[in-house]
Amino acid sequence: MPQKNDSSPEQLNIALFSPSGAVQEAARIRMAAKLLTQAGCTVKIDQSAALKRMRFAGTDEERIGAFNRIAEDKNVQVALATRGGYGLSRLLDQLDYKKLAASGKKWVGMSDFTAFSLAMLAKIGPSKEAITYSGPQATAQLASAEFDEVTLNCFLETMRGQLEAVGFKTDSSHVDGLDVKGILWGGNLAMLTSLLGTAYLPKIKGGILFLEDVGEHPYRIERMLLQLLYAGVLQAQKAILLGHFTAFKLTPNDRGYKLKTVIDYIRAHCKVPILTGLPAGHVPTVLTLPIGQKTQLLVEGRNAFLVF
Protein backbone atom coordinates (compact mmCIF):
# COMPACT_ATOMS: atom_id res chain seq x y z
CA MET A 1 0.00 0.00 0.00
CA PRO A 2 2.61 2.65 0.93
CA GLN A 3 4.74 4.27 -1.78
CA LYS A 4 7.94 5.91 -0.60
CA ASN A 5 11.02 7.70 -1.84
CA ASP A 6 14.51 6.23 -1.49
CA SER A 7 16.04 8.59 1.07
CA SER A 8 18.08 6.93 3.80
CA PRO A 9 16.34 5.98 7.05
CA GLU A 10 16.33 8.63 9.76
CA GLN A 11 16.88 7.75 13.40
CA LEU A 12 13.59 8.44 15.17
CA ASN A 13 13.28 9.44 18.81
CA ILE A 14 9.79 8.50 19.95
CA ALA A 15 8.00 9.30 23.21
CA LEU A 16 5.13 7.06 24.29
CA PHE A 17 2.47 8.82 26.33
CA SER A 18 -1.09 8.23 27.54
CA PRO A 19 -3.32 11.30 27.02
CA SER A 20 -6.64 9.49 27.43
CA GLY A 21 -7.66 6.22 29.04
CA ALA A 22 -5.54 4.20 31.45
CA VAL A 23 -3.48 1.37 30.02
CA GLN A 24 -4.64 -1.74 31.84
CA GLU A 25 -1.44 -3.70 31.23
CA ALA A 26 1.73 -1.62 31.53
CA ALA A 27 3.65 -4.50 29.96
CA ARG A 28 2.01 -3.64 26.64
CA ILE A 29 3.69 -0.23 26.69
CA ARG A 30 7.04 -1.96 27.12
CA MET A 31 6.16 -4.39 24.32
CA ALA A 32 5.51 -1.48 21.95
CA ALA A 33 8.73 0.22 23.05
CA LYS A 34 10.69 -2.97 22.36
CA LEU A 35 9.15 -3.33 18.90
CA LEU A 36 10.03 0.25 17.99
CA THR A 37 13.54 -0.13 19.38
CA GLN A 38 14.06 -3.25 17.28
CA ALA A 39 12.92 -1.19 14.28
CA GLY A 40 15.80 1.21 14.90
CA CYS A 41 14.06 3.88 16.98
CA THR A 42 15.07 5.42 20.28
CA VAL A 43 12.08 5.18 22.61
CA LYS A 44 11.23 7.06 25.78
CA ILE A 45 8.22 6.12 27.91
CA ASP A 46 6.75 9.21 29.55
CA GLN A 47 6.71 9.12 33.34
CA SER A 48 2.90 9.23 33.46
CA ALA A 49 2.22 6.71 30.67
CA ALA A 50 1.16 3.90 33.01
CA LEU A 51 -0.75 5.95 35.59
CA LYS A 52 -4.28 5.01 36.60
CA ARG A 53 -6.69 7.59 38.03
CA MET A 54 -10.22 6.21 37.82
CA ARG A 55 -10.57 5.35 34.11
CA PHE A 56 -7.93 7.86 33.06
CA ALA A 57 -4.16 7.67 32.59
CA GLY A 58 -3.62 10.17 35.37
CA THR A 59 -5.38 13.33 36.45
CA ASP A 60 -6.12 16.03 33.91
CA GLU A 61 -3.05 17.91 35.16
CA GLU A 62 -0.82 14.85 34.85
CA ARG A 63 -1.93 14.19 31.29
CA ILE A 64 -1.48 17.83 30.30
CA GLY A 65 1.96 17.62 31.88
CA ALA A 66 2.82 14.78 29.50
CA PHE A 67 2.00 16.97 26.49
CA ASN A 68 4.16 19.78 27.85
CA ARG A 69 7.12 17.56 28.77
CA ILE A 70 7.21 16.09 25.29
CA ALA A 71 6.86 19.51 23.66
CA GLU A 72 9.83 20.77 25.69
CA ASP A 73 12.05 17.73 25.08
CA LYS A 74 14.47 18.73 22.33
CA ASN A 75 15.41 15.12 21.63
CA VAL A 76 11.90 13.84 20.90
CA GLN A 77 10.62 13.95 17.33
CA VAL A 78 7.48 11.83 17.59
CA ALA A 79 4.82 11.61 20.32
CA LEU A 80 2.86 8.37 20.01
CA ALA A 81 -0.27 7.80 22.11
CA THR A 82 -0.47 4.43 23.84
CA ARG A 83 -4.24 4.08 23.44
CA GLY A 84 -7.56 5.89 23.11
CA GLY A 85 -10.52 5.34 25.37
CA TYR A 86 -11.81 8.58 26.82
CA GLY A 87 -10.18 11.59 28.40
CA LEU A 88 -8.93 14.11 25.86
CA SER A 89 -12.24 15.97 25.78
CA ARG A 90 -11.47 17.08 29.35
CA LEU A 91 -8.21 18.69 28.26
CA LEU A 92 -9.22 20.64 25.16
CA ASP A 93 -9.74 23.96 26.94
CA GLN A 94 -6.47 23.66 28.87
CA LEU A 95 -3.89 22.69 26.24
CA ASP A 96 -1.44 25.29 24.90
CA TYR A 97 -1.93 24.65 21.19
CA LYS A 98 0.55 27.31 20.08
CA LYS A 99 3.25 25.75 22.23
CA LEU A 100 2.47 22.23 21.05
CA ALA A 101 2.39 23.28 17.39
CA ALA A 102 5.60 25.29 17.68
CA SER A 103 7.41 22.33 19.26
CA GLY A 104 7.72 20.66 15.86
CA LYS A 105 6.75 17.26 17.26
CA LYS A 106 4.77 14.79 15.21
CA TRP A 107 1.75 13.93 17.37
CA VAL A 108 0.27 10.53 16.51
CA GLY A 109 -2.81 8.68 17.72
CA MET A 110 -6.34 7.65 16.82
CA SER A 111 -9.73 7.03 18.41
CA ASP A 112 -10.02 9.48 21.34
CA PHE A 113 -6.90 11.24 20.03
CA THR A 114 -9.10 12.59 17.23
CA ALA A 115 -10.28 15.26 19.68
CA PHE A 116 -6.75 16.64 20.00
CA SER A 117 -5.98 16.44 16.28
CA LEU A 118 -9.12 18.35 15.33
CA ALA A 119 -8.68 20.89 18.12
CA MET A 120 -5.12 21.57 16.98
CA LEU A 121 -6.31 22.12 13.41
CA ALA A 122 -9.15 24.36 14.60
CA LYS A 123 -7.02 26.46 16.94
CA ILE A 124 -3.89 26.84 14.79
CA GLY A 125 -5.54 26.74 11.39
CA PRO A 126 -4.42 24.76 8.34
CA SER A 127 -0.62 24.94 8.29
CA LYS A 128 2.41 22.69 8.51
CA GLU A 129 2.62 23.30 12.27
CA ALA A 130 -0.96 22.14 12.81
CA ILE A 131 -0.52 18.75 11.13
CA THR A 132 -1.00 15.76 13.42
CA TYR A 133 -1.35 12.12 12.46
CA SER A 134 -4.00 9.44 12.65
CA GLY A 135 -1.96 6.31 13.13
CA PRO A 136 -1.40 3.19 15.20
CA GLN A 137 -1.85 3.08 18.95
CA ALA A 138 1.19 1.74 20.77
CA THR A 139 -0.66 -0.78 22.94
CA ALA A 140 -3.25 -1.71 20.32
CA GLN A 141 -1.89 -2.11 16.80
CA LEU A 142 1.81 -2.33 17.75
CA ALA A 143 1.65 -4.46 20.92
CA SER A 144 -0.96 -6.79 19.48
CA ALA A 145 -1.16 -10.50 18.78
CA GLU A 146 -2.58 -9.45 15.39
CA PHE A 147 0.35 -7.11 14.68
CA ASP A 148 0.70 -6.25 10.98
CA GLU A 149 4.11 -5.12 9.76
CA VAL A 150 2.43 -2.95 7.12
CA THR A 151 1.09 -0.77 9.93
CA LEU A 152 4.54 -0.33 11.47
CA ASN A 153 6.28 0.31 8.16
CA CYS A 154 3.72 2.90 7.10
CA PHE A 155 4.06 4.65 10.47
CA LEU A 156 7.88 4.72 10.34
CA GLU A 157 8.03 5.85 6.72
CA THR A 158 5.55 8.64 7.41
CA MET A 159 7.45 9.81 10.48
CA ARG A 160 10.70 9.83 8.49
CA GLY A 161 9.11 11.88 5.72
CA GLN A 162 9.56 9.07 3.21
CA LEU A 163 5.93 8.35 2.38
CA GLU A 164 4.67 10.06 -0.75
CA ALA A 165 1.41 8.19 -1.31
CA VAL A 166 -0.75 5.34 -0.07
CA GLY A 167 -3.24 3.19 -1.92
CA PHE A 168 -6.19 1.03 -0.99
CA LYS A 169 -8.97 -0.99 -2.58
CA THR A 170 -12.44 0.48 -2.53
CA ASP A 171 -15.77 -1.11 -3.43
CA SER A 172 -16.94 2.24 -4.73
CA SER A 173 -16.61 1.68 -8.48
CA HIS A 174 -18.98 4.56 -9.24
CA VAL A 175 -16.23 7.08 -8.44
CA ASP A 176 -13.77 5.80 -11.06
CA GLY A 177 -11.78 8.73 -12.41
CA LEU A 178 -12.23 10.89 -9.33
CA ASP A 179 -9.38 13.38 -8.92
CA VAL A 180 -9.71 15.95 -6.15
CA LYS A 181 -7.42 17.92 -3.86
CA GLY A 182 -8.19 19.18 -0.38
CA ILE A 183 -7.17 19.15 3.24
CA LEU A 184 -7.23 15.62 4.66
CA TRP A 185 -8.97 15.57 8.01
CA GLY A 186 -11.23 13.51 10.23
CA GLY A 187 -10.77 10.45 12.43
CA ASN A 188 -13.14 8.83 14.88
CA LEU A 189 -16.77 9.55 13.97
CA ALA A 190 -18.11 9.78 17.52
CA MET A 191 -15.31 12.12 18.61
CA LEU A 192 -15.71 14.36 15.57
CA THR A 193 -19.47 14.56 16.01
CA SER A 194 -19.06 15.43 19.69
CA LEU A 195 -17.13 18.56 18.69
CA LEU A 196 -19.93 20.02 16.55
CA GLY A 197 -20.88 23.46 17.83
CA THR A 198 -17.60 23.90 19.70
CA ALA A 199 -14.45 25.89 19.01
CA TYR A 200 -12.55 22.62 18.57
CA LEU A 201 -14.03 21.46 15.27
CA PRO A 202 -12.16 22.94 12.29
CA LYS A 203 -14.26 24.53 9.58
CA ILE A 204 -12.87 22.71 6.56
CA LYS A 205 -14.36 23.50 3.16
CA GLY A 206 -13.45 21.44 0.13
CA GLY A 207 -11.62 18.87 2.21
CA ILE A 208 -11.20 15.11 2.12
CA LEU A 209 -12.91 13.78 5.24
CA PHE A 210 -12.17 10.30 6.61
CA LEU A 211 -14.17 8.54 9.32
CA GLU A 212 -14.00 5.34 11.38
CA ASP A 213 -15.44 4.01 14.64
CA VAL A 214 -15.71 1.04 16.98
CA GLY A 215 -18.50 -0.39 19.11
CA GLU A 216 -21.22 1.66 17.43
CA HIS A 217 -24.30 -0.10 16.02
CA PRO A 218 -25.04 0.92 12.42
CA TYR A 219 -28.10 2.95 13.49
CA ARG A 220 -25.85 5.04 15.72
CA ILE A 221 -23.39 5.47 12.87
CA GLU A 222 -26.27 6.62 10.67
CA ARG A 223 -27.47 9.06 13.32
CA MET A 224 -24.02 10.64 13.63
CA LEU A 225 -23.56 10.83 9.87
CA LEU A 226 -26.96 12.49 9.55
CA GLN A 227 -25.98 14.99 12.21
CA LEU A 228 -22.89 15.86 10.16
CA LEU A 229 -25.07 16.02 7.05
CA TYR A 230 -27.65 18.30 8.62
CA ALA A 231 -24.89 20.49 10.07
CA GLY A 232 -23.49 21.01 6.56
CA VAL A 233 -20.19 19.27 7.24
CA LEU A 234 -20.51 16.43 4.74
CA GLN A 235 -21.73 18.55 1.84
CA ALA A 236 -18.80 20.95 2.30
CA GLN A 237 -16.25 18.25 1.41
CA LYS A 238 -14.90 17.10 -1.94
CA ALA A 239 -14.85 13.46 -0.86
CA ILE A 240 -15.60 11.27 2.16
CA LEU A 241 -13.52 8.19 2.96
CA LEU A 242 -14.97 5.53 5.22
CA GLY A 243 -12.60 3.34 7.18
CA HIS A 244 -13.56 0.38 9.35
CA PHE A 245 -16.60 0.35 11.63
CA THR A 246 -16.16 -2.64 13.92
CA ALA A 247 -17.19 -4.44 17.12
CA PHE A 248 -20.94 -4.00 16.91
CA LYS A 249 -23.62 -6.66 17.10
CA LEU A 250 -26.70 -6.82 14.90
CA THR A 251 -29.95 -8.06 16.43
CA PRO A 252 -33.08 -9.80 15.10
CA ASN A 253 -34.85 -6.46 15.47
CA ASP A 254 -32.65 -5.03 12.70
CA ARG A 255 -34.46 -7.18 10.11
CA GLY A 256 -31.76 -6.80 7.49
CA TYR A 257 -30.67 -3.30 8.51
CA LYS A 258 -26.86 -3.27 8.44
CA LEU A 259 -23.84 -1.07 7.80
CA LYS A 260 -24.32 -1.21 4.04
CA THR A 261 -27.86 0.11 4.58
CA VAL A 262 -26.37 3.14 6.29
CA ILE A 263 -23.81 3.79 3.58
CA ASP A 264 -26.41 3.47 0.82
CA TYR A 265 -28.76 5.82 2.66
CA ILE A 266 -26.11 8.50 3.21
CA ARG A 267 -24.97 8.23 -0.39
CA ALA A 268 -28.54 8.81 -1.52
CA HIS A 269 -28.81 11.98 0.55
CA CYS A 270 -25.30 13.40 0.14
CA LYS A 271 -23.97 14.24 -3.31
CA VAL A 272 -20.33 14.14 -2.23
CA PRO A 273 -18.41 11.03 -3.42
CA ILE A 274 -18.23 8.47 -0.60
CA LEU A 275 -15.54 5.79 -0.76
CA THR A 276 -15.21 2.74 1.47
CA GLY A 277 -12.21 0.55 2.27
CA LEU A 278 -9.78 3.04 3.83
CA PRO A 279 -7.39 1.16 6.18
CA ALA A 280 -8.25 3.19 9.26
CA GLY A 281 -9.96 2.24 12.49
CA HIS A 282 -9.72 -0.28 15.29
CA VAL A 283 -8.16 -2.99 13.14
CA PRO A 284 -4.63 -4.42 12.82
CA THR A 285 -3.80 -2.76 9.49
CA VAL A 286 -3.99 1.03 9.56
CA LEU A 287 -2.37 3.78 7.54
CA THR A 288 -0.69 6.75 9.17
CA LEU A 289 -2.56 9.75 7.76
CA PRO A 290 -1.57 13.43 8.07
CA ILE A 291 -4.52 15.36 9.47
CA GLY A 292 -4.44 18.89 8.11
CA GLN A 293 -2.27 18.24 5.06
CA LYS A 294 -3.24 19.19 1.52
CA THR A 295 -3.78 15.84 -0.20
CA GLN A 296 -4.76 14.56 -3.63
CA LEU A 297 -7.27 11.72 -3.95
CA LEU A 298 -7.15 9.71 -7.17
CA VAL A 299 -9.39 6.79 -8.09
CA GLU A 300 -8.67 4.35 -10.91
CA GLY A 301 -11.28 1.61 -11.10
CA ARG A 302 -11.39 0.20 -7.58
CA ASN A 303 -7.94 1.50 -6.68
CA ALA A 304 -7.82 4.68 -4.62
CA PHE A 305 -4.67 6.68 -3.92
CA LEU A 306 -3.88 9.44 -1.46
CA VAL A 307 -0.93 11.54 -2.60
CA PHE A 308 0.69 13.78 0.00
Q: What is the pLDDT of residues 213-254, one digit of tens each?
A: 999 999 999 999 999 999 999 999 999 999 999 999 999 999
pLDDT tens for each residue of 124-137? 999 999 999 999 99
- Kindly name the residue from 111, 117, 134, 172 that is annotated as catalytic: 111
pLDDT, residue 171, reads 84
Reply yes or no on whether the pLDDT at 172 is more than 80: no
pTM exceeds cut of 0.85: yes
pLDDT, residue 110, reads 98
Active site residue 244: no
Active site residue 217: no
Burial of residue 35 (CB within 10 Å: 0-12, 13-18, 19+) is: middle
Closest CA to 165 of 277, 5, 50, 42: 5
Cβ atoms within 10 Å of 247's Cβ, excluding its own? 12
Cβ(133)–Cβ(161) below 8 Å: no
Average per-residue pLDDT for the chain: 97
Active site residue 282: yes
pLDDT band at 8 (very low <50, low <70, confident <90, very high): very low
Residues 6+ apart with CB under 8 A from 220: none
Mean pLDDT value of segment 253-276: 98
pLDDT, residue 5, reads 53
- How far is CA 55 from each of CA 21, 59, 69, 87, rounded to the nearest angstrom? 6, 10, 22, 8
Mean pLDDT value of segment 112-117: 99
pLDDT tens for each residue of 274-285? 999 999 999 999
pLDDT, residue 154, reads 98
Element (H, E) at 35: helix 26-38
Q: For residue 214, which amino acid is it?
A: V
pLDDT, residue 7, reads 44
Reply yes or no on whether the pLDDT at 173 is more than 80: no
pLDDT tens for each residue of 26-47? 999 999 999 999 999 999 999 9
Reply yes or no on whether the pLDDT at 4 is more than 80: no
Distance CA 83, CA 21 (A): 7
- Kindly name the residue from 103, 117, 157, 212 that is annotated as catalytic: 212
pLDDT band at 174 (very low <50, low <70, confident <90, very high): confident
